[in-house]
Amino acid sequence: TTTSPVEMTSPKLNGVAKNQRLPKSPEQLLKEKRRRICVFSTKGYDRTFLTAALKALPESDKMELIFHKCALDIDSADLTKGSGAVCVFVNDNVGKDVVQKLHDNGVEAILLRCAGFNNVCLTQAETCGMFVANVPSYSPEAVAEFALSLLQTLNRNTHRAYNRVREGNFNLEGLLGRTINGKTVGVIGTGRIGVAFARIMSGFGCKILAYDPFQSSEFEKYGEYLTLEELLPQCDFVSLHCPLMDSTRQIINKNTLKLMKRGAMLVNTSRGALIDTDQVIKSLKDRTLGGLALDVYEGEGELFYNDHSDDIIQDDQLMRLMTFPNVIVCGHQAFFTEEALGEIADATLENAGDYVKGMPCPNSLVRNKHLLVRRDSKPIRI
Ligand code: NAD
């Protein structure tokens, strides 16, 4: 779906007939290119919410959105010729080579319609002087609430009960759960989502412990900070809410799994590579890990957001995970609420507006003229 480019028309002036198309000046062409955004990995809901957000903009701020179903990668990057910006999502590949190709194609801006930006080579974007902005905050409650849903489904075996009763099996054997009230919950990463999750869990009457190298007074209303080594042995439930960075990659590994309380449950709504999947499978097999709920998975780029029900899935690790009765896997949907999609679309077009107008952008992820400060004044960490 493509919105039609604006045609220049003018009344008869200096011998040019009314409605005759005037050749566009280089400035006009550049202006139009800047307003043209190639949107990758789009689904029907992306088109619906972005189109609605576009309609709500004043005429002077209108953009042209070119929707592509395919993901951005080194091959599809050529679709961007003639556009000023790309708009990408979590599994688009915006690595070093792709950024360079976008730059070579004349693309000046990378607009993420998500919070995480581990799929973008920011260093290369900075080198190329590109504008990069994300949507740092869109209903953190949407993700935090989903983490709670996963935790409770896993803990009370609702996923198993759902299937059982449909077969006419009302036996309760194997569905025994634990009352959450009074349990200890570990929150790894106390940014927007981690704090929202801590608030929800404190409402359940849980003791909340957290680990985050950057401590927040907002979190301290709900619990106390410990080191990861102190936190893990105490927690009945652990939920991951830190971004994927070199320092957090496989933060759940052989050593940290050993520190966890026997039978504790782990929830990951953040990024798949925070977990060493091989080691987690071992811990599930020897029952030291009591359950695992994933909304994200390291190899999700190959699978998530598409229907593979007719395919032979080649990812043996993922398929092994799905054989455990105490593992739940969802397809990266924690963000997926009407409210969050509306906020993402509005903020993405707001970022696009800052790029088009050459304004400093509060959501900038690069250290160049576009960087001002985060809207919430939190320092950015790359
Ligand atoms: P945020 O930037 O507000 O908070 C991240 C927190 O992690 C910060 O407080 C930071 O200090 C902390 N952190 C950094 N390094 C750490 C470390 N080594 N150990 C522990 N904590 C560390 O981010 P947010 O908005 O709360 O989002 C968190 C993550 O959730 C995102 O990075 C993204 O990957 C993920 N996310 C997932 C979905 C989904 O649909 N599943 C949606 C949105 C975001």
Strand partners, 135: none
Q: Where does the chain have alpha helices with state H?
A: 26-34, 44-55, 96-104, 122-127, 140-156, 158-166, 192-203, 228-231, 254-259, 277-285, 316-321, 338-357
Testing ligand 1's pocket by substitution, the residue of 112, 200, 241 carrying the most ligand atoms inside 8 A of its CB is: 241
Has 381 been annotated as catalytic? no
Tell me which of 64, 108, 298, 300 is the catalytic residue.
300
- Closest residue to atom 9 of ligand 1, CA basis: 191
Tell me which of 64, 271, 343, 350 is the catalytic residue.
271
Distance separating alpha carbons of residues 324 and 130, to the nearest angstrom? 45
Over its length of 382 residues, how does the chain's per-residue pLDDT go in tens digits? 343 333 333 344 455 555 667 888 888 898 899 999 999 999 999 999 999 999 999 999 999 999 999 999 999 999 999 999 999 999 999 999 999 999 999 999 999 999 889 999 999 999 999 999 999 988 899 999 999 999 999 999 999 999 999 999 999 999 999 999 999 999 999 999 999 999 999 999 999 999 999 999 999 999 999 999 999 999 999 999 999 999 999 999 999 999 999 999 999 999 999 999 999 999 999 999 999 999 999 999 989 999 999 999 999 999 999 999 999 999 999 999 999 999 999 999 999 999 999 998 999 999 765 544 333 334 333 3
- Closest residue to atom 37 of ligand 1, CA basis: 270
Has 229 been annotated as catalytic? no
Quick one: which atom of ligand 1 is closest to the CA of 211? 20
Nearest in space to 260 (alpha carbons), one of 286, 297, 221: 286
Q: How many residues make up the chain in this entry? A: 382
Strand partners, 224: 209
Quick one: which atom of ligand 1 is closest to the CA of 137? 25
Q: Where does 263-332 have alpha helices with state H?
A: 277-285, 316-321
Distance separating alpha carbons of residues 188 and 280, to the nearest angstrom? 17
Is the minimum distance from the CB of 332 to ligand 1 under 6 angstroms? Answer: yes
Q: What is the DSSP string of 103-142?
A: HHTT--EEEESSS--TTB-HHHHHHTT-EEE----S-HHH
Quick one: which atom of ligand 1 is closest to the CA of 269? 41
